[in-house]
Amino acid sequence: MGWDIIEKWLMQRRGLLFCFAIVYAALAFDVKAEEFNTITIGIISPKDGSGLVLAGESHDESIRLAFSHLGPLQVGDLQIKLELRAWNDAGKPEMAAKGAMQLAREDHVVAILGPVNSGSTRAALQQLRDEQIELPVISALSTAPELTYSNVRDKNFFRLIFDDADRMGQYATFIKQEKGKEGEQHFLFLYEDNPYGEGLKNSLKDRFYTPNVVALSWRAIITQNCANKDIPYPNAQDALRSGQCFAEDFKQLLDESEISNVVLLGDTSGALSLVEGIKLSGLSLNLDYFFVGSNKRLFDEAPTGSITIGDPVLDYLRAPTAGLSGDWRKLLKEFEERAKKDHEDFVMTAYEAAMVLHSALRIVLSSQQALPEIDDLRRKLLQVLESESFDALEPWRTISFSQGKLDLIPTAPIYRITRGVAREDPVNSHPWVQLSVKARNPLFEAPIEVHLNAYGVESGKLGVYWVDEVTNHEHLVEDRWVKFSAGQAIERFHLFERGLYHFKMLDTPFYPALAETRVDLSNNYLISAVSALVGAVLAVSRASSGVLAWIMRVLAGMAAGLLLTFGSLYGQQLSGWIPFPSFGHEPVVNAMLTGLIGGLVGPRMMADLLLTWARRLLMPSQSG
């Protein structure tokens, strides 16, 4: 009885159920299509639960800001959606390793942007290596030199920032200039007990200008009881900040030695805690402090007169042109509004990491008709990252990698903290050339114009490359010397083959790194051909001739129309003394009128010309 009722109810509502089934199928199809059209990118940053939370949030927001500015990707006619998937590693290597596996296995990301600290990066790479996963890991802030040592570098790793050795080399030079004139100086290096702090210490000590250096770790200068997490301070930073936990030999070192300079090598939070502890302990206060970092908290809380070397920054006050200064200022303001942070917290290299990945994806997908399988896409990305050059935010620098390390590193800014920060590193004049070309140029309508603006360059060599879009290999078509007048030049290239072309300076930095144009057919010659056909039909309609002669004269008229159009659109650029007809600067109007004129005149003129030449060629043979 019960089944009869159910069957009757289903029969009465079978139409409604059928509609539900269709809707469900459509939704399922949409979900599959969405998955198919989506590329997922992983971000690993420390958030809550870490002393690196400020760096982690800024890293994340800088990447998201970059992707909000970058255009959509295409595979054929299909537009690709980019989805960002974030993982909080809390600054802990084991959490970074776990996150790398989650992003690779479960979220199927094509690349990871991060991690932030070198210890987490090392752990994430090791985990991927153990699982034999090929996946680009692009870190904007991991500076441990060993990550790019040629004999141990992981093939998945690419670094968007200088390493500790590069930065500490710049710092050592500056400190020598700052302190060398004051006579013999003694330094105390206090470094954080982790790979970051130890890497900074080793890199600076190897390059330092004087042997008068004592190096101690943060944990080594506090007593064992204070280092214990239970008694009486919950963590090492609290112990440092208290001023009551310093070991006796450390106090004696500060009181009795000639040390007057303290270099703090570690994260901002711990370094500031240590300085506060030294002040509260009643030890010598006549110390000069040197920090590493450039975030707002450091600028606000470090002792006045301190020196710090920071991460790469977008300093609009040092932009070489007013236009570039305005662009940088606009970008930093947008970051402040979006992230609710100060512009000093903007992570330039994280923004550039997003730019690089987006460009690499565009290069890979340009030769595809459908989205590749995830493993294939990851492998192709690794190949492109190893071999291509990409835009940087600084126009005098392009981004390319050798064994995962930047070929051209950004500048490490050095600041004096004066409750209003002042840059102390010298302004460097970077020679560079800005290139611009239309994104698309119609074939046979005009030579391709490349506009060049030089900064600190009097001449240079400009090259044009045709790109094989199947292999992405570039073939040099032409190169020429360019001389600049008042810093500007316009070069015209006659490119008679369809396709994608790149323009590059061959002997000086240039911007953008990828100045390119696509040369393709337009409708103007089709318009010209139709107009010429109309004109030719009108011209021969009054003549009495056979069908074959009629067809030949019409074809001659169309050929004349196309030649006149070519002369009007392109030929005037080839030779200034030939009087090619022109009807203004609108290509469509020129094509229509020159095609019509050629069609009207060509059937008689061209046909008679061809007949005359044919008779001249045939006459000798006939007379023979």
pLDDT digits (tens, 9 = 90+) for 243-301: 888 888 998 898 888 899 999 999 888 899 999 999 888 776 689 999 998 888 899 99
Strands 510-511 and 432-436: parallel
Query: Which domain covers residue 576, as residue numbers?
Result: 524-623
pLDDT band of residue 490 (cuts 50, 70, 90) is very high
pLDDT band of residue 31 (cuts 50, 70, 90) is very low
186, 290: one domain: yes
In a domain, 320, yes or no: no
Instruction: Quote the pLDDT of residue 32.
Output: 40
- Kindly report which listed range (205-219, 356-370, 380-394, 589-603) carries the lowest average pLDDT score: 589-603
Strands (DSSP E) found in 255-384: 261-265, 288-292, 307-309
pTM of the model: 0.73
Residue 584: strand, helix, or coil: coil
* Residues β-bridged to residue 475: 466
Distance from chain centroid for Cα 551: 57
Q: How far apart are CA 488 and CA 494, in angstroms?
A: 20
Task: Compute how many other C-beta atoms are within 10 angstroms of the C-beta atom of residue 502.
Answer: 20
Task: Compute how many other C-beta atoms are within 10 angstroms of the C-beta atom of residue 74.
Answer: 13
Instruction: Quote the pLDDT of residue 114.
Output: 95
In a domain, 228, yes or no: yes
251, 276: one domain: yes
How many structural domains are present in the chain? 5
Domain limit, last residue, from 399, 420, 445 = 399
Contact (CB, 8 A) for 441 and 426: no
507, 550: one domain: no
Contact (CB, 8 A) for 200 and 182: no
In a domain, 419, yes or no: no
Instruction: Quote the pLDDT of residue 296.
Output: 81
For the sheet containing 307-309, what is the strand order? 213-217, 187-191, 261-265, 288-292, 307-309, 414-416, 422-423
Q: How far apart are CA 54 and CA 210, in angstroms?
A: 34
In a domain, 416, yes or no: no
Considering only residues 539 and 505, tell me which one the structure prediction assigns the higher pLDDT.
Answer: 505
Q: How far apart are CA 261 and CA 287, in angstroms?
A: 6
Strands (DSSP E) found in 181-287: 187-191, 213-217, 261-265
In a domain, 408, yes or no: no
Considering only residues 540 and 370, tell me which one the structure prediction assigns the higher pLDDT.
Answer: 370
Place of tokens 């990118």: 41
pLDDT band of residue 51 (cuts 50, 70, 90) is low
562, 587: one domain: yes
358, 468: one domain: no
Instruction: Quote the pLDDT of residue 371.
Output: 92
Contact (CB, 8 A) for 539 and 605: no
Considering only residues 287 and 561, tell me which one the structure prediction assigns the higher pLDDT.
Answer: 287
Highest-confidence segment of 336-350, 529-543, 573-587: 336-350
Instruction: Quote the pLDDT of residue 16.
Output: 46
512, 444: one domain: yes
260, 169: one domain: yes
CATH number reported for the structural domain that contains residue 174 in this entry: 3.40.50.2300
385, 279: one domain: no
The token pair that represents 251 in the structure block = 């106090």
Instruction: Quote the pLDDT of residue 567.
Output: 79
Instruction: Quote the pLDDT of residue 11.
Output: 54
Is it the case that residue 488 has pLDDT exceeding 50? yes
The pLDDT of 532-561, averaged and rounded, is: 79
In a domain, 577, yes or no: yes
Q: Over the chain, what is the mean pLDDT? A: 85
Rg (CA), the chain: 34
The pLDDT of 158-168, averaged and rounded, is: 94
Instruction: Quote the pLDDT of residue 524.
Output: 81
The percentage of residues in the chain with a pLDDT greater than 90, rounded to a whole number, is 51
Q: What is the DSSP letter of 341?
A: S
Is it the case that residue 415 has pLDDT exceeding 90? yes
Q: Which amino acid is at 185?
A: Q
Is it the case that residue 108 has pLDDT exceeding 90? yes
Is it the case that residue 315 has pLDDT exceeding 70? yes
The token pair that represents 464 in the structure block = 């044009």
Residue 424 CB partners (closer than 8 Å, separation 6+): 174, 307, 414, 415, 416
Task: Compute how many other C-beta atoms are within 10 angstroms of the C-beta atom of residue 258.
Answer: 8
Closest CA to 591 of 536, 524, 521: 524
